[in-house]
């Protein structure tokens, strides 16, 4: 089934401005790699080549350099509302106009954004390794748009482009709905600089099946269970053999049960590679000192790559996926920010 994504609008259309400080990465540029980073990368490459089964747990930091804000820091505020507070059933029942404008603005931003090299590298790893599975906390659809094989990609928290009816008597739900705006009234949602205007419930998205139910975004809100099929599939992968390695990419690891998958792999004796712009070295301090003292990486269980995931993930996965470049778009231009 082909999903026809809308054409890519220009950067200026982005409701979230790129020069938002959250988005700029403080990164140890791979090209200025220190000897210890180069040695760490080499030991990671050796372990990667020997790994048979790999998981990836990804978060908002994976899409940061595609222009989408993360939940931490200033990016986590929308119209001065904490994004995590808006992502709750309570917020939606209290003020569906506010919550729908929040999600409509995020749909617009995600439609404007482009997958970056890390999205493509993970998609490539999935094509090279049947025993590789990505668990994404992201709802932006960028991994799918990077042609990540769908049966090796689990959306733990749903998608901005799924919709479902809130009526108790109706089971309507729809995936891959890229209509924007969903209703004429929601066109105002992207004008974040304009003063907030309340939208009457009648002008919010309604169910095309029962015609009465209010539609809601098909995402998992705080306090709601993850889709059981998704949890089942993740559990099946973890319990059907040792996972040798988990790639933890652009996530603060604060939201559960998603963050719990890292420990489950560790408990199986699997090793961990962390990709984040903000690594607190304490994670692997004692391992580092042992490496310095013994000079061998044999007992290394955690690798950390501090910097922009869009830079480091392709480099870390190169032995398997080769050199990842962004696809040329129709104008032959490199189609992305990076
Ligand atoms: C549930 C969809 C039960 C909506 C989201 C155990 C302990 C404590 C609390 C709990 C617990 N178990 C459950 C809870 C409660 C809660 C929870 O975890 N609360 C937290 C806040 C403490 N969990 C739940 O409510 C879950 N449901 O438990 O249900 C239940 C069971 C049965 C019956 C009824 C109920 C549901 C959680 C899912 C909520 N939905 N998203 C939406 O998106 O609007 S969560 C959402 O926030 C994201 O999906 C993601 O998961 C999370 C944000 O985290 P990250 O993605 O990591 O982003 P963040 O900004 O935090 O960090 C970004 C990182 O990237 C940073 O580290 C930064 O340094 C880095 N970075 C930035 N730029 C870059 C970069 N890295 C690399 N390169 C860059 N360029
Ligand atoms: Zn309905």
Are 101 and 181 within one domain?
yes
- Asked whether residue 101 is assigned to any structural domain, the reply reads yes
171 and 301 belong to one structural domain: no
Which residue's CA lies nearest to atom 64 of ligand 1?
251
| Domain total in the chain | 2
**Residue 41 is assigned to a structural domain of this protein:** yes
Q: Quick one: 278 and 296 in the same domain?
A: yes
Return d(Cα 95, Cα 198) in angstroms, integer. Answer: 9
Q: Which ligand is in closest contact with the Cα of 216?
A: 2
- Model pLDDT, residue 282: 63
Which run of H or E residues covers position 274? Answer: strand 271-276
The residue range of the domain holding 195 is: 70-112+161-219
Q: What is the distance between the alpha carbons of residues 21 and 11, in angstroms, rounded to a whole number? A: 17
- Per-residue pLDDT of the chain (338 residues), as tens digits, is 444 444 444 444 433 333 333 444 444 456 678 888 899 999 999 999 999 999 999 999 999 999 999 987 656 677 778 888 999 999 999 999 999 999 999 999 999 999 999 999 999 999 999 999 999 999 999 999 999 999 999 999 999 999 999 999 999 999 999 999 999 999 877 666 777 889 999 999 999 999 999 999 999 999 999 999 999 999 999 999 999 999 999 999 999 999 999 999 999 999 999 999 998 766 555 555 655 566 555 566 799 999 999 999 999 999 999 999 998 765 554 444 44
Q: Is residue 336 part of a domain?
A: no
2 in a domain, yes or no?
no
Domain boundary among 219, 234, 269: 219
The per-residue pLDDT for 292 is 58
Q: Are residues 49 and 123 in the same domain?
A: yes
The reply to whether 9 falls in a domain is no
Q: Are residues 231 and 293 in the same domain?
A: yes
Predicted confidence at residue 150, as pLDDT, reads 98
In the prediction, which pLDDT does 239 show?
Answer: 97
User: Which residues approach ligand 1 with their CB closer than 6 A?
Assistant: 25, 59-61, 64-65, 70-72, 87, 137, 139, 157, 219-225, 250-252, 254-256, 258, 275-278, 308-309
Distance 258 CA to ligand 1 centre (A): 7
CA distances from 125 to 49, 96, 130, 234 (A): 12, 40, 9, 18
Q: What is the pLDDT of residue 298?
A: 56
Report yes or no on 7 lying in a domain: no
pLDDT of residue 18: 36
Answer positive or negative: Cα dihedral of 120, 141, 174, 71. Answer: positive
Q: Could you identify the residue written with the tokens 């603005």?
A: 105
- Alpha-carbon distance 224 to 249, whole Å? 24
pTM: 0.89
Residue from 148, 155, 157, 180 carrying the catalytic annotation: 157
Same domain, 281 and 214: no
Catalytic residue status for 155: no
167 C-alpha vs ligand 2 centroid, how far in Å?
6
Instruction: Kindly state whether residues 187 and 313 are assigned to the same domain.
Output: no
Asked whether residue 100 is domain-assigned, the answer is yes
The CA-atom distances, in angstroms, between 209 and each of 97, 123, 143, 212, 248 are 21, 35, 30, 8, 40
Q: Note whether 213 and 168 are same-domain residues.
A: yes
Distance 205 CA to ligand 2 centre (A): 11
Nearest CA residue ID for atom 33, ligand 1:
225
SS3 184: helix
- Of 292, 311, 291, the C-alpha closest to 301 is 291
Do both 202 and 306 map to the same domain? no
């Amino acid at each position: 089934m082909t999903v026809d994504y809308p054409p890519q609008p220009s950067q200026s259309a982005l409701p979230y401005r790129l020069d938002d400080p959250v988005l700029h990465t403080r990164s140890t540029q791979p090209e200025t790699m220190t000897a210890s980073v180069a040695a760490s990368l080499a030991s990671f490459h050796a372990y990667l080549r020997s790994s048979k089964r790999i998981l990836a747990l990804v978060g908002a930091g994976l899409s940061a350099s595609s222009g989408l804000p993360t939940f931490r820091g200033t990016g986590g505020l929308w119209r001065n509302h904490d994004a995590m507070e808006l992502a709750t059933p309570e917020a939606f029942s209290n003020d569906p106009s506010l919550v729908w404008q929040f999600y409509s603005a995020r749909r617009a931003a995600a439609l404007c954004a482009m997958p970056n090299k890390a999205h493509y590298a993970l998609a490539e790893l999935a094509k090279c390794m049947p025993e590789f599975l990505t668990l994404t906390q992201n709802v932006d659809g960028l991994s799918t748009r990077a042609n990540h094989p769908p049966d090796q990609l689990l959306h733990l928290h749903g998608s901005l482009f799924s919709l479902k009816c809130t009526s108790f008597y109706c089971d309507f739900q729809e995936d891959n709905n890229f209509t924007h705006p969903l209703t004429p009234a929601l066109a105002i949602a992207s004008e974040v600089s304009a003063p907030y205007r309340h939208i009457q419930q009648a002008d919010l998205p309604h169910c095309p099946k029962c015609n009465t139910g209010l539609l809601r975004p098909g995402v998992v809100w705080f306090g709601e269970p993850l889709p059981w099929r998704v949890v089942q599939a993740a559990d099946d992968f973890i319990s059907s053999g040792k996972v040798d390695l988990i790639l933890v990419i652009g996530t603060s690891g604060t939201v559960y049960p998603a963050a719990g998958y890292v420990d489950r792999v560790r408990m199986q004796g699997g090793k961990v590679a962390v990709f984040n712009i903000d690594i607190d070295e304490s994670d692997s301090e004692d391992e580092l000192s042992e490496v310095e003292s013994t000079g061998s990486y044999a007992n290394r269980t955690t690798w950390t790559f501090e910097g922009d995931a869009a830079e480091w993930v392709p480099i870390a996965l190169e032995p398997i996926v080769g050199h990842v470049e962004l696809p040329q778009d129709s104008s032959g231009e490199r189609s992305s920010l990076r």
